Amino acid sequence: MRYGIAIFPEKKIQDTANSYRKRYDPHYALIPPHITLKEPFEANEDDLKPIVRELRKVAAETTPFPLQIHKVSSFSPVTNTIYLKVEPVDELLKLNERLHTGELPQEKTYSFVPHITIAQKLSHDEYSDVFGSLKMQSFNLEQTVDRFQLMYQLENGAWTVYETFTFGEEKN
C-alpha cells in the first residue's frame, strides 16, 4: 500500500487554496490542500508498526511552529505547477529531515520545497495566464502547526488519514 506524510492547514488556508484548486488542480477531489512532508512510499502491514512508532517519537520531539504564506510560486520550467509558497522555517525543515531517518523510508526524489499546490497539469498558455495574475497578489495566511498526518492511498487514487500525530504528545 502507498503511504505519505502531510500537514493539513487550517480551514482558512484550505479555503484559499481550494478557491484555485477546484478550477486548476485535477487532484482537487483526491486530497485536501496539504504540505507534503514525505513523498509517497510503499509499505505493508508489517512495515507499518515500526513506522508508526517512529512517527510518534518524531511528533513527541517536535514543538509547534508557525506556518506563513505570503505569495505564490511555481516549479516552472520543470512542470506547470503553481503553489502557495510556505515560508521554510527551521522547525519545518528539521521535521522534513527527521521524517527521512530511523525506521522511516529514506528515499527522496526531490529537494524539500514547502508548498501547497493550487494548480497543476496546466497547458503552457493557461499556466502563463494563471501564474501571471496570481504572482501579483500577496497573501497573508498564518497559523501554528501542531500536528501531521500519516495518509494512505485508496484504490481510486484518493488519500485518507491513517493516523494523526500531535507535537509534544507521548503515545504508546
Considering only CA atoms, which of 33, 51, 29 is closest in space to residue 42?
51
Beta strand extents in the chain (DSSP E only):
2-7, 35-42, 65-74, 82-86, 115-119, 141-145, 147-153, 159-166
Return d(Cα 105, Cα 120) in angstroms, integer: 27
* Nearest in space to 42 (alpha carbons), one of 69, 14, 4, 8: 4
Measure the CA–CA gap between 58 and 140, rounded to whole angstroms.
29
Quick check: is 27 catalytic?
A: no
How far, in Å, CA of 91 to CA of 72, rounded?
21
Q: Among this protein's residues, is 70 annotated catalytic? A: no
Return all residues near 92 (Cβ < 8 A) that are at least 6 apart. Answer: 65, 67, 86, 114, 145
For strands 65-74 and 147-153, give the pairing.
unpaired
* Catalytic, out of 34, 70, 100, 124: 34
Residues labelled as active-site residues: 34, 115
